[in-house]
Structure 1
């Protein structure tokens, strides 16, 4: 009896996970990859360490990591969740560790540990990986899927599309050929450019728990902030960029970011503490003695912006200058003008409309036998392992359901 044939387009995280599940269930699986290498994103993510998932304990907290598609993912995670991911990799000889911020990495700190086990598992179940086989055309005739590349034709019984997020709508041609609608893609996970700000002279400095909010919006996030040679980056910035992806896109990436250099600063608290410090240390030079654990160069920069002269001592500072220093500590105003894509974590918001996909199986509601997994759908997560978790979970569901 002929085996069920399953075609998978895209050799990334979701493609491999779907391929392994379908082949494990007895299907003959063909994985089509347009380039000459697979799992590229797995290999470069997390600085080459691969942030496999996030160990945030509560499911409701975990779902907050998805600015778009969290209701959809809530259903998906009923079948395969972060704990299942950790068990899957550890059960195949890849020990994992969780860092303080919840991010999960292989103990080896090498993304090759993750890529190798996926390839080994796929090989053991007979998945056929077809390199340099970019599919250009797809159609369904009499329940079968016909695929066409530059120099070959194939037909399969079931099809799983795992082509990832694309920067432009044209990247979703195959999906549209099969009658699906696309939420137009826009960038998510990017850093903020501030080319006209003198703050870029402090490149390389960071604060462990700052807070950023955008003027004129409810968008805000706390966490580490890094000053770069083009503006600001770090986890707080990347997460805020994901939540604010659509708002910032509409603003053409021109906005005012208000930075608190410590997330727990309050205006009154700062005033009380600075006046008490002034009383206790009247002879100390303000700009030479950093407070609140801020880097010395950042403190000096902020006092300079508050128009506090370098040699000024606390005993001689007036109320006006103290108020100005409080303003620079509590809501430092940074003009954001443009973005830089965070290359290791390239993610797009947008993709296949979720109301056209069954969250219990990842099957298309429009085309029987067609499935989707990974970033090709309109789900995206913040940095910290959320996008890979979406890939493993949707790949697991699609691979299993395609063989039932």
Structure 2
């Protein structure tokens, strides 16, 4: 019986094992940590954001700053609808939330983990934890995998290690080119009087732009203890991951907290002024922001909160609107977004055959997951790439004509 060694017990490795034909192969998963599926466990705040309800591959690839061209063919073969069906067939109900993210009905990542563990148990897949791979040697038709638990011989290798520098070095030693790793999906560290002590304040729709990079994104925004987060920030961090690393995470960002241009905002303000002249500005609900945030805007604009709306001068109104719609912040660093650390960089995509995720350089060697130079914005997309790539590998091996 031919031996498949899967290096890495994460999302891609397990999904691949769960779809392989156990009658054809002996399958072993090697995982260096004491627990498998660690990222699945913590994803989505412990609920596991399994995928995203976007069922058109052409639309789906728009969420991948790196890998979008290559993934188009992959997603035409296995996309989020197939993922959902795969879980439904195993009695795992998924629900689609308002923002199109898909989670297990149970709201627990353990449901997903148990499903995988159950699948591989039925297939008699051997899982070796605390098994650190030191080196992979190519030997004639086979591979020798040297580990902390001894040597393993493999006819096929599936490399799903995630993006640790050590695992990238190992595959580089086998001849693959590695694109340098940089963080993707991170929050921006900002110290500014406008944000001080307002952690937890959120905005349903904001616009963010980095003028220097001529880039902009929109979406929900969140003030944190360190600065700014939320999709409007995370999307820009993913698309500009490489450029932001080059400027060492020190740059200027412009934020429009209300997603209205200044002229439109001014019109709303003038209308409010006419219909509520006697109201104090501090208690006026002109825009869709929290009272605390509105009062902070007035403070940093040097406006007396007790002033009547009618007495706000044209100049004062402009200062308020500038702070609301065109506020510039100096970003001085980054923070990891929760525990869902994602990196840009990894194995060069030119060296991968995306029909089956095989290496173009190494025979009988497949690569999937975050070890590749593929990453996505937040929302279940990184997992979907893992599921789709792993499924392709399993299909290729299941249809492989063994000599």
- Are 2:354 and 1:396 aligned? no
Conserved? CA contact 1:51–1:104, under 8 Å: yes
Map 1:193-232 → 2, pairs under 5 A: 193-232=189-228
Cα distance in 2 for partners of 1:246, 1:399 equals: 32
Unpaired segments ≥5 residues, structure 1: none
Map 1:2-21 → 2, pairs under 5 A: 3-21=1-19
Cα distance in 2 for partners of 1:24, 1:83 equals: 25
- Out of 227, 245, 248, the residue aligned to residue 249 of structure 1 is 245
Cα distance in 1 for partners of 2:387, 2:57 equals: 16
Give the equivalent residue in structure 2 for 1:308.
Answer: 303
Deviations 1:244-295 (A, max 9, x none): 11111111101111111122x0111111111121111111111222322210
Give the equivalent residue in structure 2 for 1:237.
Answer: 233
Cα distance in 1 for partners of 2:392, 2:319 equals: 56
Residues 318/25 of structure 1: CA separation in 2 closer, same or farther (3 Å cut)? farther
Q: Give SS of 2:302's match.
A: coil
Unpaired segments ≥5 residues, structure 2: none
Pairwise CA distance, 1:57? 3.8
Residues 338/171 of structure 1: CA separation in 2 closer, same or farther (3 Å cut)? farther
Cα distance in 2 for partners of 1:78, 1:61 equals: 11
Q: Give SS of 1:343's match.
A: coil
Give the equivalent residue in structure 1 for 2:69.
Answer: 71
Q: For the aligned residues, what is the CA RMSD?
A: 1.3
TM-score (norm 2): 0.96
Deviations 1:56-109 (A, max 9, x none): 243322111101110111011122111110000111010000011110000110
Pairwise CA distance, 1:20? 1.9
Q: Give SS of 1:145's match.
A: strand
The worse-fitting range, judged by mean Cα deviation, of 372-381 and 19-28 is 19-28
- Out of 82, 93, 96, the residue aligned to residue 94 of structure 2 is 96
Give the equivalent residue in structure 2 for 1:156.
Answer: 154
Pairwise CA distance, 1:221? 1.4
Map 1:292-331 → 2, pairs under 5 A: 292-331=287-326
The worse-fitting range, judged by mean Cα deviation, of 196-205 and 302-311 is 196-205
Give the equivalent residue in structure 1 for 2:118.
Answer: 120
Pairwise CA distance, 1:198? 4.3
Cα distance in 1 for partners of 2:144, 2:338 equals: 34
Pairwise CA distance, 1:11? 0.3
Residues 344/202 of structure 1: CA separation in 2 closer, same or farther (3 Å cut)? same
The worse-fitting range, judged by mean Cα deviation, of 181-190 and 274-283 is 274-283
Deviations 1:300-322 (A, max 9, x none): 11122222112211111111111
- Out of 103, 106, 122, the residue aligned to residue 104 of structure 2 is 106
- Are 2:54 and 1:45 aligned? no
Map 1:333-352 → 2, pairs under 5 A: 333-352=328-347
Pairwise CA distance, 1:342? 1.2
Give the equivalent residue in structure 2 for 1:182.
Answer: 178
Cα distance in 2 for partners of 1:42, 1:136 equals: 25
* Number of residue pairs the alignment of both structures matches: 399
Conserved? CA contact 1:189–1:346, under 8 Å: yes
Give the equivalent residue in structure 1 for 2:56.
Answer: 58
